[in-house]
Structure 1
Amino acid sequence: MAEMGSKGVTAGKIASNVQKKLTRAQEKVLQKLGKADETKDEQFEQCVQNFNKQLNEGTRLQKDLRTYLASVKAMHEASRKLNECLQEVYEPDWPGRDEANKIAENNDLLWMDYHQKLVDQALLTMDTYLGQFPDIKSRIAKRGRKLVDYDSARHHYESLQVAKKKDEVKIAKPVSLLEKAAPQWCQGKLQAHLVAQTNLLRNQAEEELIKAQKVFEEMNVDLQEELPSLWNSRVGFYVNTFQSIAGLEENFHKEMSKLNQNLHDVLVSLEKQHGSNTFMVKAQPRCWDLPPAGSLLFCLHSDNASAKGNKSPSPPPDSSPAATPEIRVNHDPEPASAATPGAALPKSPSQNSLPAVVVETFSAAVNGTVEGGNGTVRLDLPPGFMFKVQAQHDYTATDTDELQLKAGDVVLVIPFQNPEEQDEGWLMGVKESDWNQHKDLEKCRGVFPENFTERVQ
């Protein structure tokens, strides 16, 4: 019996819920068709819009914070592997090995501490902040349903009030067949029954209206207070969250800087004890630049290298005066013997140990041409040429107006057509090889980062 009663209650509740859904759906249709008015609250609707915006912003912040934490974890792993590599290559007999290992351990602990504090002080706070939104969102949706119930009950009660006069007419003048067929003494009872039934329906409708209004207003009042408060709380939450992240990151970098300095000191100590084995980075070889008109042009040729030299050639191993040729830029008139085209230089005892030196005297340049004893050498330079630079590193162009550089490339620097277009740290120029081949600025010029080059004296 109890089970049957329980099933009956459940079936009745299901039927009631189905009826509510049908009534709400009917009410919404009538409102959309304009056959029933809808209760509006513009202030509350604005609060709902702010709530949705706040929820979207918080959800995005949570997502980006998780991405940030994932990046920190990835950097931790990369740093750990790099330190493991250092520990493997650091031989046992090298000084500072124990210090380097200790620094690596502290580095690992620092990364772990930084990640954990970000989780505790930022991510968990973020999760707590967003944890209040689902309940409020559910209550907003429920308030919307209760508002439809309230409107439906109000419309039903109003329709009964409108039909009151029609019922009074029916009571005064019998219209049903039953009333007409009933004896005179029975018609009074039927009229009384009709009045009682009408009053009962009206009373029930009024009770439903009062109940629906009470439920709606209770929810509405609570949300009217909570939503503005939640909206205003976002400022303090954002401030605290980003202050925590900034503070943790600042402290992390301070401590990491100390560890890096300690590692640097250990490696300096290692370098001092093994200074003779220091690895030297050699510059890329290149052709010497053509000197100004009126000077001497030297081209050094070795037995096993092409006619190229470094920007600042290293002196030979023998540093004696006899092994170091003196390269002199001559701006004064030379003696007749030295100015004679094709004249040979006097031999010195050191000439046998030096590369062959070919010397040719040039006169002043005229109209971009330098006239020499045996012919002319073109010194055609691009309009506005200012100075030369040499690329010290490879640079990959990232745009069509940039130069692609290889270490050792010589670039002729020219001014920007529009000085306002020049960005700090960038120069305009044309590679010397491209200019000698094409003589076309429109085709060859481009911008390049100055810090990838070094000025040629």
Structure 2
Amino acid sequence: MAEMGSKGVTAGKIASNVQKKLTRAQEKVLQKLGKADETKDEQFEQCVQNFNKQLTEGTRLQKDLRTYLASVKAMHEASKKLNECLQEVYEPDWPGRDEANKIAENNDLLWLDYHQKLVDQALLTMDTYLGQFPDIKSRIAKRGRKLVDYDSARHHYESLQTAKKKDEAKIAKPVSLLEKAAPQWCQGKLQAHLVAQTNLLRNQAEEELIKAQKVFEEMNVDLQEELPSLWNSRVGFYVNTFQSIAGLEENFHKEMSKLNESLNDVLVSLEKQHGSNTFTVKAQPSDNAPAKGNKSPSPPPEGSPAATPEIRVNHEPEPPSSATAGASLPKSPSQPAEASEVAGGTQPAAGAQEPGETAASEAASSSLPAVVVETFSATVNGTVEGGSGAGRLDLPPGFMFKVQAQHDYVATDTDELQLKAGDVVLVIPFQNPEEQDEGWLMGVKESDWNQHKELEKCRGVFPENFTERVQ
């Protein structure tokens, strides 16, 4: 019997829920069609919009915080492997080995402590903050359903009130066949029965309305108080969260800085005891290989674009000789001082030995490889002066030197040269030196110059590290 009773209760509950869903669906359809009015609360709707915005912001913050923690963990692993590598290469007989190992251990502990404090003081707080949103969201949805029930009960009661007036008119003037066929003494009872039935339905509808209104208003009042309070709490939460992250990161970097300083002291001590074995980084020519995915070439040498440094075979600086000490450095063609020097007769006299010849003769008598010193041309009033390019009318004005493309270069702008490996480019100065970017040269392809002799149409900029100087 108990089992049968339980099944009956369950079936009755299911039927009641189905009836509620049907009633709500019918009410929403009537409201959309404009045949039934809908209770509106603009203040509450604004609170719901704020709630949804706050939930979206909090969810994003939680996601980004988890990403940040994953990055901290990845940096910890990378730092740990780097320190392990140092411990492996640090030989036992080297001084400071124990100190280096201790620093590596403290480094690992510092990363662990930083990650754990971020979890405790930021992530867990974030999870607690967001933990209240699902319940409130569920209550907002439930309040919406209860509002539909309230509107449905209200409309049902109003319809019965309207029908009551019609029934009263029918009772005053019977028109049904049953009433006409009934005896006179029975018509009064029928009228009384109709009145009682109408009053019963109206009373039931009124009770349902009062009940639905009470449930709705209780939920509505609670949410009206809770939602604004939750919305205002976001300011303090954001402040505390980001203050915690900033403080933890600041302390972490302070402690990490101390460990790095200690490690530097250990390495300085090692360097002093093995000073004769110090590895010296010598100056090397610029890398001619193009940087993959990076348009910016390697930085050019110091000085003006025309003053390309000499490339020495032994990569060692040559002591200044008496022949070259007095020679002035070549200047950019745009500098006015050079024009005055040319006008003042500073060019070498006939029969005088050129700086290049002096360097060549000295190199021949020395055991060191020969050092080639080149002087570059300068343009004064459109005339090629000085250097190997003097008097050569087949070269563009201001010609400085030649380079050959070692790699293909695809131009990405209208002022750039399109290069193929093997192309020879005649390098010329920029009209406005301030327009030259670091690592870029101005020139014209030799093939274009020989064919057109039109500098304005053929010249363009190109990355220096895609080429190699040939003259």
Structure-1-length-normalised TM-score: 0.71
Give, in angstroms, the shift of residue 178 of structure 1.
2.1
Contact 2:332/2:378 (<8 A) preserved: no
Contact 2:376/2:401 (<8 A) preserved: no
Higher fraction of strand = 1
Give, in angstroms, the shift of residue 265 of structure 1.
1.1
How many Å separate the matches in 1 of 2:293 and 2:323? Answer: 26
Contact 1:342/1:373 (<8 A) preserved: no
How many Å separate the matches in 2 of 1:379 and 1:98? Answer: 71
Contact 1:342/1:360 (<8 A) preserved: no
Contact 1:322/1:350 (<8 A) preserved: no
Contact 1:157/1:202 (<8 A) preserved: yes
Contact 1:434/1:444 (<8 A) preserved: yes
How many Å separate the matches in 2 of 1:141 and 1:197? Answer: 36
Contact 1:393/1:453 (<8 A) preserved: yes
Contact 2:314/2:369 (<8 A) preserved: no
Structure 2 counterpart SS, 1:321: coil
Give, in angstroms, the shift of residue 184 of structure 1.
1.1
Cα distance change on mapping 1:345 and 1:148 into 2, 3 Å: closer
Give, in angstroms, the shift of residue 164 of structure 1.
1.2
Give unmatched runs, 5+ long, in structure 2.
336-365
Structure 2 counterpart SS, 1:230: helix
How many Å separate the matches in 2 of 1:133 and 1:175? Answer: 61
How many Å separate the matches in 2 of 1:447 and 1:111? Answer: 48
- RMSD across aligned positions (CA): 9.8
Give, in angstroms, the shift of residue 353 of structure 1.
3.5
How many Å separate the matches in 1 of 2:318 and 2:112? Answer: 74
Cα distance change on mapping 1:183 and 1:216 into 2, 3 Å: same
- Deviation readout 1:373-422 (Å, 9 max, x if unpaired): 99936699999999999999999999998999999999999999999999
Contact 1:385/1:414 (<8 A) preserved: yes
Cα distance change on mapping 1:76 and 1:414 into 2, 3 Å: farther
Give, in angstroms, the shift of residue 437 of structure 1.
13
Alignment match, 1:287: none
Alignment match, 1:118: 118
Cα distance change on mapping 1:135 and 1:182 into 2, 3 Å: same
Alignment match, 1:341: 325
Give, in angstroms, the shift of residue 169 of structure 1.
1.3
Cα distance change on mapping 1:371 and 1:216 into 2, 3 Å: closer
Structure 2 counterpart SS, 1:411: strand
Give, in angstroms, the shift of residue 197 of structure 1.
0.4
Cα distance change on mapping 1:95 and 1:374 into 2, 3 Å: closer
Contact 2:402/2:426 (<8 A) preserved: yes
Structure 2 counterpart SS, 1:323: coil
Contact 1:395/1:404 (<8 A) preserved: yes
Structure-2-length-normalised TM-score: 0.69
Contact 1:369/1:378 (<8 A) preserved: no
Give, in angstroms, the shift of residue 95 of structure 1.
0.9
Q: Identity of counterpart residues, as a percentage?
A: 95
Cα distance change on mapping 1:152 and 1:109 into 2, 3 Å: same
How many Å separate the matches in 2 of 1:225 and 1:35? Answer: 32
Structure 2 counterpart SS, 1:454: strand
- Deviation readout 1:304-342 (Å, 9 max, x if unpaired): 999999999999999999999999999999999999999
Give, in angstroms, the shift of residue 234 of structure 1.
0.8
- Deviation readout 1:144-163 (Å, 9 max, x if unpaired): 00000000000000001111
Cα distance change on mapping 1:138 and 1:157 into 2, 3 Å: same
Q: Which moved more, 1:255-264 or 1:358-367?
A: 358-367
- Deviation readout 1:116-159 (Å, 9 max, x if unpaired): 11111111111001000000000000000000000000000000
Structure 1 counterpart SS, 2:391: strand
Alignment match, 1:438: 452
Contact 2:62/2:123 (<8 A) preserved: yes
Contact 2:96/2:270 (<8 A) preserved: yes
Structure 1 counterpart SS, 2:402: strand
Cα distance change on mapping 1:172 and 1:354 into 2, 3 Å: closer
Contact 2:146/2:212 (<8 A) preserved: yes
Contact 2:297/2:463 (<8 A) preserved: no
- Deviation readout 1:431-452 (Å, 9 max, x if unpaired): 9999999999889988999999
In the alignment, structure 1 residue 257 sits paired with structure 2 residue 257:
yes
Contact 1:360/1:372 (<8 A) preserved: no
Structure 1 counterpart SS, 2:376: strand
Cα distance change on mapping 1:362 and 1:229 into 2, 3 Å: closer
- Deviation readout 1:57-114 (Å, 9 max, x if unpaired): 1101100110010011001001101111111111111111111111111111111111
Give, in angstroms, the shift of residue 176 of structure 1.
2.5
How many Å separate the matches in 1 of 2:159 and 2:266? Answer: 92
Give unmatched runs, 5+ long, in structure 1.
285-301
In the alignment, structure 1 residue 26 sits paired with structure 2 residue 26:
yes
How many Å separate the matches in 2 of 1:182 and 1:349? Answer: 127
Structure 2 counterpart SS, 1:20: helix
Kindly report which structure 2 residues correspond to 1:315-330, keeping only aligned pairs within 5 A, or say none. Answer: none
Contact 1:315/1:324 (<8 A) preserved: no
Cα distance change on mapping 1:385 and 1:154 into 2, 3 Å: farther
Contact 1:368/1:378 (<8 A) preserved: no
Cα distance change on mapping 1:62 and 1:456 into 2, 3 Å: farther
How many Å separate the matches in 2 of 1:355 and 1:375? Answer: 26
Contact 1:323/1:350 (<8 A) preserved: no
Contact 2:297/2:464 (<8 A) preserved: no
Contact 2:428/2:443 (<8 A) preserved: yes
Contact 2:440/2:463 (<8 A) preserved: yes
Cα distance change on mapping 1:348 and 1:168 into 2, 3 Å: closer
